[in-house]
């Protein structure tokens, strides 16, 4: 006789995600033939969070340690003492850092001298982050189009979703955007 194994928290999370995907598939669009009116809130939590948040005053070593401990990390969101989003560190930021530290930046003509020195001298996370990324955040009430425009304009495949006070609620990543694209494609080909 077979014994049923007990559900783990991971099983429960997987079931919740499947249920939310099923519900969202049928509630994403408002009417046949109309332009989609998707909001960030419709898709941003479908696949869980692929980012973490750390204090902007954390050391560069802490940032690197986070990426080493969790290789699937999409990005690190930097927060201030009020837990508000202030910037983003991407894999590309860390690749630039590694190249500068290991190769002295030789052969990388697209790195401006000022950026080279900024990265080489970085001691804290806020000094390593991509400049001007604090404007990358979106709110749940923003349209998916506005979020996609930011992602494309800044060449980021993950952006933070924040509340009205700027505190991070989660992230909007490429996987959620791709899923929305598939759901829309299926919907239009069926109707």
Whether the Cβ atoms of residue 66 and residue 54 lie closer than 8 Å to each other: yes
Q: What pLDDT score does 32 carry?
A: 39
Q: Mean pLDDT, the chain, as a whole number?
A: 81
d(CA 48, CA 37): 22
| β-pair type (51-55, 168-173) | unpaired
Q: What pLDDT score does 33 carry?
A: 38
Tell whether the model's pLDDT for residue 69 goes beyond 90. yes
Q: What pLDDT score does 31 carry?
A: 42
Tell whether the model's pLDDT for residue 67 goes beyond 80. yes
d(CA 84, CA 78): 8
Least trusted range by pLDDT, from 34-38, 111-115, 120-124 = 34-38
| CA distances to 89, 107, 131 from 156, in Å | 10, 24, 13
Torsions phi, psi of 11, nearest 5? -60, -45
Tell whether the model's pLDDT for residue 53 goes beyond 70. yes
Residues 6+ positions from 51 with CB-CB distance below 8 Å: 73, 74, 75, 76, 77, 158, 160, 171, 173
Q: Which of 52-61, 95-104, 108-117, 150-159 has the highest mean pLDDT?
A: 52-61
Q: What pLDDT score does 7 carry?
A: 66
Question: For residue 49, which of 179, 151, 170 has the smallest C-alpha distance?
Answer: 170
d(CA 164, CA 139): 7
Whether the Cβ atoms of residue 91 and residue 67 lie closer than 8 Å to each other: yes
Residues 112-116 have a mean pLDDT of 83
DSSP state letters, 112-148: -HHHHHHHHT--BHHHHSPTTGGGG-EETTSBHHHHH
Q: What pLDDT score does 153 carry?
A: 92
Residues 103-131 have a mean pLDDT of 85
Residues 174-178 have a mean pLDDT of 88
Domains of the chain, each with CATH number or no CATH: 32-190 (3.10.580.10)
| CA distances to 89, 96, 121 from 101, in Å | 17, 9, 10
Q: Which of 26-30, 38-42, 57-61, 177-181 has the highest mean pLDDT?
A: 57-61
Tell whether the model's pLDDT for residue 73 goes beyond 80. yes
């Amino acid at each position: 006789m077979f014994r049923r194994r007990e559900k783990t928290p991971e099983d429960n999370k997987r079931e919740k995600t499947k249920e939310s995907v099923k519900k969202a598939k049928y509630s994403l669009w408002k009417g046949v033939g109309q332009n989609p009116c998707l909001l960030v809130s419709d898709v941003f939590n479908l696949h869980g969070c692929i980012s973490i948040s750390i204090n902007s005053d954390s050391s560069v070593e802490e940032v690197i340690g986070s990426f080493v401990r969790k290789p699937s990390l999409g990005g690190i969101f930097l927060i201030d003492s009020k837990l508000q989003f202030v910037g983003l560190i991407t894999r590309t930021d860390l690749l630039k850092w590694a190249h500068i530290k290991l190769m002295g930046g030789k052969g990388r003509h697209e790195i401006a001298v000022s950026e080279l020195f900024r990265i080489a001298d970085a001691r804290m996370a806020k000094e390593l982050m991509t400049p001007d990324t604090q404007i990358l955040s979106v709110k749940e009430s923003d349209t998916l189009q506005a979020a996609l425009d930011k992602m494309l304009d800044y060449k980021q495949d993950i952006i933070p979703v924040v509340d009205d006070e700027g505190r991070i609620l989660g992230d909007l990543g490429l996987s959620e955007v791709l899923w929305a694209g598939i759901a829309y494609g299926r919907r239009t080909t069926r109707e």
